[in-house]
Structure 1
Amino acid sequence: MFDWDFRRGTAGVHVLMQLAEERGLDPDRCFAGTTLTPEAVLAPDAEVTARQELRVVRNLLAHCGDEPGLGLEAGARHHISLYGPWGLALVGSRTVREVVEVALRCLELAFVFGGLVFEEDTQEGRLVVESAELPARLRTFLTERAMAGLQTIVVDLFETALPIRRVLLRDQAPAEIIRYRDTFGVTPIFDATADLIVIDGRGLDLSLPRAGDWARGSCEQLCRDLLDQRAPRAGVAAEVRDVLVRDPGRLPDQSAVAGGLFMSPRTLSRRLNEERTSFRALLDEVRQMMAEELLTHTDLTTEQLAARLGYAEAASFIRAFRRWKGCPPQEFRAHRTSVTKRRISVASTWSPSAAQTSALKISTSMSPR
């Protein structure tokens, strides 16, 4: 059974706010039946429950009537930049299969209401959207949003769409289907028994091209901001870190970084030594930051993390992490998860007046009916 009190980021609500504003729905009506405010959902690290987000969806649909493909429009705005560390995980994917494996996790934490299941045989893969039990209009919107959102993320990553063969939808065909064809590249089969996307299975394990400029730029800026918060750098050291995070999914070696800075590896070592650091130390700073973010905010396995950080095997990553933090990666993750749960527990005991003064704590009194 779907957990309506599950807490998630506010990216989905941000998109709903945009759609509402463009269609003349003022914020008070957009958030009717909730204690949400624009200031609250825009605050750093803000969270909402699935129950709260569903109420905003309901308000939007009540205002917009039967606009065909509105869920597709919402999904088209769920760009990779909305997902922070999950964006880093996706950018590091080498194959379509890896993208799907990561997306199945992050989309359920972001904007899927129900579940995503991936099935495959020798010819094709099937992404099945299992929607929560909801009235038809809500289910339609949320299913369309999930399907279009996955397509948007893949295009952001690799500037090419999923190799879609067929799209099946349980709903009746609307009067206008152009938005559906534009989103998926095929005309959906309506009145189906399930909601799913069928992709060509032959390409699942082929190597993907380097992530597109937009996706890499988004993740690069995230990495730069996080590194500057932890340990600001100047001079050549700052330039080296900038080169290291230009493509966070594929960390370059010292020769490649030196070439990018138009100097020899030996000259780079000498310049960094003058600044009392080294390439190894700067690479460790980047890897440690990425490892901590991915361990804290995603559920990637140790093996998946090691691959995204440029380690040939998980054992090497585990040894490095012990050197950085004094414990193995999964122990660090367990501790961070425990701390987060304690913070949520403490927040739930605040008085109403205290909760009103914090933009990050939101009521969970609403019913999803």
Structure 2
Amino acid sequence: MKPPTDDALQRVSPAAALPAVLEDLGIDPGPVFEGLGFGPHDLVAGARVPFAQALVLLERAGRLAGQPELGVRVGVRNDHRCLGTVGELMAAAPTLGQALADYVALQGGHSQAACSYLVPMGECVALGFGIYDRQAPGTDQVYGLAMGAGANMIRSLTGDAVAPLEAHFSIRRPPNPAVFAGLLGTEVRFNQPQTCVLVRRADLSAPTVAPDPARRDELLAALPVRLGLAGQSATARLRHVLRPSLSLGDTSLAAAARRLHMTARTLGRCLAREDTSFARERDAVRFVMASELLRLTELPVGDISAALSYATHSAFVRSFRRWSGMAPSEWRAAQGR
């Protein structure tokens, strides 16, 4: 099975591809959209689906289809063009690496419930996606959508000169892993500590198909205001950088402040004004990540502790017991896993 051709790609919001996928599978969309206040006909160009409703849509669709890869099927009908002007900015970049960096820098304007990030992984760079605001059914399908669209971004931006090396999923190995690989057109690994697509570092210098420096400058000046990034709270901005920081093992206040172009003292004061603290926000993101990995994967608890950058396994167990009232292994068993 090959990834869809360019003609099959959607140029609108990623969720807009869902009705077409359901139609291809012979599934009535009625039960999927029931009670949400909108229907398939409302998913038009420029439509924005609230994150909570996207979770419901994809969870219902995956359950009705009986397909853990349903989110991937939706995702691979998209590429950077589904992001509107952010996708236009990516296309105007001179290289793949700059296009992905621009996307990551502005993604917080699209969603404050999840983040996209770039982190080094050996000879590769991971384009990752993480949910840090919710623990609900449907997250695995959202991750599939993100990986499908992410893999296509890499291909379309470079005119198929670059393809993802691998795709990693923080979910259990499904009964049909070959379907994931066929849809994404690359090797797929499951039970991983983060959900991401890997690109060789050398490939980041690949030129984009149609760079446009003047248009890029124009969009870079306008988009932060248009997306409301300047008005975001310090807490929202911090949470957006915390998840990749945990993956990199750099969990200090000073490191987070550097990523936000602030001093540690200034960041601490801003958070205090918003009635929170760095430690509290770091714990919140760690709890979501830990809960996801315990619920969705078969990773040993020790590996999850390492993925969250804890110095010791016992420190992670103490923290998780404080958050949930149970040890990680007990919490996992209570989820029926």
Q: TM-score, normalised by structure 2?
A: 0.54
- For 1:287 and 1:202, the matched residues in 2 are separated by 23
Return the index of the structure with the highest Cα Rg. 1
Q: 1:141 to 1:109 in 2, by over 3 A?
A: farther
Q: Which amino acid aligns with 1:41?
A: L
Of 147-156 and 102-111, deviating more is: 102-111
Aligned residue number for residue 164 of structure 2: 164
Kept after mapping to 2: 8 A contact 1:12/1:110: no
- TM-superposed deviation, 1:198: 2.8
- For 2:39 and 2:93, the matched residues in 1 are separated by 36
Q: Which amino acid aligns with 1:171?
A: I
Kept after mapping to 2: 8 A contact 1:168/1:194: yes
Q: Are 1:145 and 2:148 counterparts?
A: no
Aligned residue number for residue 54 of structure 2: 53
Aligned residue number for residue 25 of structure 1: 27
Kept after mapping to 2: 8 A contact 1:32/1:56: no
Name structure 1 gaps, 5 residues minimum.
1-8, 212-246, 252-285, 302-369
Which deviations, in whole Å up to 9, do the C-alpha atoms of 1:196-215 show, x marking residues without a partner? Answer: 333212332x241434xxxx
Q: 1:201 to 1:148 in 2, by over 3 A?
A: same
Aligned residue number for residue 81 of structure 1: 81
- For 1:98 and 1:183, the matched residues in 2 are separated by 26
Q: Are 1:62 and 2:57 counterparts?
A: no
- For 1:26 and 1:51, the matched residues in 2 are separated by 21
Q: Which amino acid aligns with 1:195?
A: T
- For 1:300 and 1:80, the matched residues in 2 are separated by 20
Kept after mapping to 1: 8 A contact 2:162/2:206: no
Matched ranges for 1:299-338 at <5 A: none
Kept after mapping to 2: 8 A contact 1:121/1:201: no
Q: Which amino acid aligns with 2:38?
A: L
- For 2:149 and 2:43, the matched residues in 1 are separated by 20
Aligned residue number for residue 198 of structure 1: 198
Q: 1:121 to 1:147 in 2, by over 3 A?
A: closer
Alignment identity in percent? 16
RMSD: 3.6
- For 2:56 and 2:84, the matched residues in 1 are separated by 25
Kept after mapping to 2: 8 A contact 1:155/1:161: yes
Query: What secondary structure, in the 3-state scheme, does the structure 1 residue paired with 2:38 have?
Result: coil
Aligned residue number for residue 101 of structure 1: 101
- TM-superposed deviation, 1:91: 1.0
Which deviations, in whole Å up to 9, do the C-alpha atoms of 1:39-79 show, x marking residues without a partner? Answer: 4433x6544321222222232123112x1422221111113
Aligned residue number for residue 179 of structure 2: 179
Runs of 4+ displaced beyond 4 Å:
105-113, 286-301
Kept after mapping to 1: 8 A contact 2:46/2:84: no
Q: 1:207 to 1:13 in 2, by over 3 A?
A: closer
- TM-superposed deviation, 1:146: 0.7
Q: Which amino acid aligns with 1:192?
A: Q
Kept after mapping to 2: 8 A contact 1:20/1:60: yes
Query: What secondary structure, in the 3-state scheme, does the structure 1 residue paired with 2:43 have?
Result: helix
- For 2:20 and 2:111, the matched residues in 1 are separated by 15
Kept after mapping to 2: 8 A contact 1:130/1:195: yes
Which deviations, in whole Å up to 9, do the C-alpha atoms of 1:134-171 show, x marking residues without a partner? Answer: 35x62221111111111112222222264534433222
- For 1:201 and 1:33, the matched residues in 2 are separated by 45
- For 2:194 and 2:68, the matched residues in 1 are separated by 19
Query: What secondary structure, in the 3-state scheme, does the structure 2 residue paired with 1:48 have?
Result: coil
- TM-superposed deviation, 1:90: 1.0
- TM-superposed deviation, 1:295: 5.9
Q: Which amino acid aligns with 1:199?
A: V
Kept after mapping to 1: 8 A contact 2:25/2:65: yes
Q: Which amino acid aligns with 2:18?
A: L
Name structure 2 gaps, 5 residues minimum.
1-10, 231-337
- For 1:288 and 1:209, the matched residues in 2 are separated by 16
- For 2:147 and 2:161, the matched residues in 1 are separated by 12
Query: What secondary structure, in the 3-state scheme, does the structure 1 residue paired with 2:115 have?
Result: strand
Residue 13 (structure 1) aligned to one of 12, 15, 23: 15
Kept after mapping to 2: 8 A contact 1:12/1:111: no
Kept after mapping to 2: 8 A contact 1:17/1:30: no
- TM-superposed deviation, 1:183: 4.3
Query: What secondary structure, in the 3-state scheme, does the structure 2 residue paired with 1:51 have?
Result: helix
Q: Which amino acid aligns with 1:84?
A: G
- For 2:34 and 2:72, the matched residues in 1 are separated by 23
Number of residues of Structure 1 aligned to a counterpart in Structure 2 = 219
